[in-house]
Chains A and B, each alone.
Chain A
């Protein structure tokens, strides 16, 4: 179902159906945080008029949500406003805040952000993406987190191309205190990953995380190389890789959609790590990616330190898209958001 068909069905369903308790529970967090913010926004516009929608459009486009997605969304909102005879902006609250989060989940249950990690067998994670988006850093952070959870983690230095890439992963290995399997610069990445798998098996590791060289998605040969790496993993361990994570830079605009699409074609991506959200960019394109390609965000990167990786929280994320639309920021509210994450 398309994004907006889904959206429409949500509207219609809500008019007829009772809101389930689960839904209520799921949305409680939103009410506390995001809806609260939307309330502020809405208080500034007494009437739901063109100006209101125009600012909403600007806010969403500026967050890189994508012009087509935004226009469709606004059209739906306008129709809903008409249909339900909404005059006061206060009433639009439910329509914007809850719908966006619900839309993100779609037919799925909450909990999309959990990694598929095997209970008592080796899990292999493959990390892919274009140059400089934060693959290696995220691997370091993730290794640290998994290690903290008591997992035995091994890293494979599959970027044999970029100068200093192996040393970089080794440094992260040291920081997270996990082993790094490597070969020399310029060697075959598939061979390194193969070594990584053998090492992880023989050490009875719980998780193997494979780094890969950054590559632009329009380089056909490099994408083929990546498919080959994935095939090696598939061949060595049935059911692996258990996750293929694409690192997307929140600063990236509409091209992120093309990245997600092309990397998926080559490696069947299962989740997104949205990096650099600690800057001023919002990463709104992941909404379109979720809708068009059904790929959920698993983690967000919030800095360069080893602790700066958090599970994705759609509520906080959607709030972030609108953050600039609120004028004043209130310290106590800020705390509330942090608590909720």
Chain B
């Protein structure tokens, strides 16, 4: 497919330039051309791209880039800066009404993920903020939408306010708030039916609901895979309802998610949360900076590292980092690591977050065989303590013994030893990257 990360594609252009030491206007032009393609391929809106490229060009032809020693990297930095600026800062806060209940309205197109997100949000409010939310089923149009929310309520063991499908959504919302006041719920999350932004009747219904329930937040729920039309959708909803924020769903897919940028550009409203899976605890704060590099196809090293850190506890992480850095990482740490990795969730998910991983032949659609992991574990368990701590002492007879003990072959043992060494090297680079140093083996021009 003609779908490569910008990082990969820019390499050629940059290689040419790095030799030169100085960039010409022509070079900048070539590079911005690549950037433009990457943004368009990532589904950033045409007009948004046009404006961005104009700004990037102005800055890139300016002194800051032309005089720098690494102009190629400097251009990418400009691009990332502009993108990050546009994406705005972090905003994962939820409003609190001075007098409870705080009312949140969920709105958006059909199939964007409003109902699931309502459930996730309720879950988050209870878990993280210790609140008691009331879910309200106002989608009376889509068949079984009420059932869906009620089922989610059951799964979460949370109350759902519903009045079937014959009632008027505005009335349902109004009565739900009465109910919340009486029973001291402090949040009311109103799930509304999906609708087209050009459907006047249904958009009017939302305006009416807004006037009636006076919400503290109106979240526009948008599918991360949305294409060029995202601007029209976001603009219409914002103009008619003055939304307070955006929730981007299905970001666990493999889309670049350029819609995020388009929405920010046309509404200026913050993207507050990201849906990262179908499970009810998979709603995460939205990280604008990471989104910027995702859109550019630079992978999500940061997320990977952070994910590792939240799973591995702090102290362990420090020790580990030190070990990685000094390369004193042993097979014992490795065993411990394997345990941690298993806790981090499906390995496939992790792999997709490493930049370039999905580009590598053979690694694409990699299916990590749990059985193979067990074999690896068996091999390590068959090592003596000494061998685990100093793999250098490994010789033919030791290898033979280990193979026998683990029910594998010497070549399997060899392969693991080789992989272990490579992994050590890679880890060293990763810790360096995290510190913002230049990582050699990783050929990414922006580092």
Residues on A facing B (Cβ under 8 Å): 58, 61-64, 66-68, 130-134, 140, 161-165, 167-168, 170-172, 175, 185, 216-221, 249, 251-258, 261, 276, 278-282, 285, 292, 304
A252 partner, pick from B46, B141, B227, B278, beta carbons under 8 A: B227
Kindly state whether residue B250 has any CB partner on chain A within 8 Å.
Answer: yes
Q: How far is the CA of A282 from the CA of B365 in the complex (A)?
A: 30
* New A-B contacts (11) at CB < 8 Å, excluding given A164-B145, A220-B367, A253-B259: A130-B225, A131-B278, A140-B143, A162-B278, A163-B147, A165-B144, A167-B147, A216-B252, A251-B229, A280-B197, A281-B227
Complex partner residue of B43 from A216, A217, A255, CB under 8 angstroms: A255
Task: Name the interface residues of B410-446: CB closer than 8 Å to any CB of A.
Answer: none
Q: Which of B56-115 contact A (CB under 8 A)?
A: 109-113, 115
Cβ of A62 and Cβ of B253 under 8 Å apart? no
A276 & B253 in contact (Cβ 8 Å cutoff): no
Say if the beta carbon of B152 comes within 8 Å of chain A.
Answer: yes
Is the Cβ of A292 less than 8 Å from the Cβ of B147?
Answer: no
Closest 6 CB pairs of A and B: A253-B227, A132-B111, A164-B148, A253-B43, A171-B143, A163-B151
**Any chain A CB within 8 A of the CB of B293?**
no
B215-253 with Cβ < 8 A to chain A: 223, 225-229, 232-233, 250, 252-253
Binary per-residue interface labels of chain B (19-47) against chain A in the complex, 1 for a CB within 8 Å, 0 otherwise: 00000000000000000010011110110
Inter-chain contact B110/A132, CB cutoff 8 Å? yes
Docked complex Cα distance between A29 and B152 (Å): 49
- Interchain Cβ contacts under 8 Å between A and B, 29 examples: A64-B43, A64-B229, A67-B37, A132-B112, A134-B110, A161-B278, A163-B115, A163-B147, A164-B146, A164-B148, A164-B151, A168-B143, A185-B151, A217-B254, A218-B348, A220-B367, A221-B346, A249-B223, A251-B226, A251-B229, A254-B3, A255-B256, A257-B1, A258-B1, A258-B254, A258-B255, A281-B229, A292-B1, A304-B110
**Contact yes or no, B253 A130, CB < 8 A:** yes
B2 CB within 8 Å of chain A: yes
Cα separation A170 to B147 with both chains bound (whole Å):
12
Residue B132 CB within 8 A of the other chain = no
Interface of B is mostly: loop
- Most chain B beta carbons < 10 A, residue from A140, A162, A172, A279: A279
Cα A161 to Cα B151 with chains together (Å): 11
Which A residues touch B225, using CB under 8 A?
130, 249, 252-253, 255-256
* B113 surroundings in chain A (CB, below 8 A): 131-132
A280 to B228, CA, bound (A): 10
Is A276 within 8 A of B110, CB to CB?
A: yes
> Bound state CA distance, A219 and B115, in angstroms?
21
Q: How far is the CB of A284 from chain B (nearest CB, A)?
A: 8
A168 touches B144 (CB 8 A): yes
A224 to B17, CA, bound (A): 45
Q: Which residue of B lies closest to A283 (CB)?
A: B227
* Interface residue B198 (Cβ < 8 Å from any Cβ of A): yes
Q: How far is A221 from B149 in the complex, measured between Cα atoms in Å?
A: 26
Does B142 sit within 8 A of A, measured CB to CB? yes
- A-side contacts of B2, CB under 8 Å: 68
Q: Are B226 and A279 in contact (CB under 8 A)?
A: no
**Do A255 and B254 touch across chains, with their CB atoms under 8 A apart?**
yes
How far is it, in angstroms, between the C-alpha of A68 and the C-alpha of B109 when the chains are bound?
28
Determine the distance from Cα of A254 to Cα of B188 in the docked complex, in whole angstroms. Answer: 36
A130 CB, nearest partner CB in chain B, Å: 7
| Interface contact A279-B151, CB-CB below 8 Å | no
B252 touching A251, Cβ below 8 Å: no
- A224 and B366 alpha carbons, distance in the complex (Å): 13
B195 to chain A: closest residue by CB: A304
Asked if A255 contacts B147 (CB within 8 A), the reply is no
Q: Is B352 an interface residue (CB 8 A)?
A: yes
Chain B CB count within 10 A is highest, among A165, A219, A292, for: A219
Q: Is A67's CB under 8 angstroms from B40's CB? A: yes
Given the contacts A131-B111, A132-B112, A261-B1, A280 and B40 also touching, CB distance less than 8 Å: no
Contact, CB under 8 Å: B147 / A164: yes
Q: When chains A and B are docked, how far (Å) is the Cα of A32 from the Cα of B385?
A: 82
**A216 and B250 contacting across the interface, CB-CB below 8 Å:** yes
Q: Does B316 count as interface, using CB distance less than 8 angstroms?
A: no
Chain A residues whose C-beta falls within 8 Å of the C-beta of B327 in the assembled complex: none
Which residues of chain A have C-beta atoms less than 8 A from B142's C-beta? Answer: 168, 304
Q: How far is the CA of A165 from the CA of B255 in the complex (A)?
A: 25
What is the minimal beta-carbon distance from B371 to any residue of chain A, in angstroms? Answer: 15
Q: Is B258 an interface position by the 8 A CB rule? A: yes
Contact indicator B250/A167 (Cβ below 8 Å): no
A253-B232 Cα distance, complex, nearest whole Å = 14
Q: Which of B43, B197, B252, B346 has the most CB of A within 10 A?
A: B43
Among residues of A, the one whose C-beta sits closest to the C-beta of B44 is: A253
Instruction: Determine if B228 and A63 form an interchain contact, defined as CB atoms under 8 angstroms apart.
Output: yes
B167: interface (CB < 8 Å): no
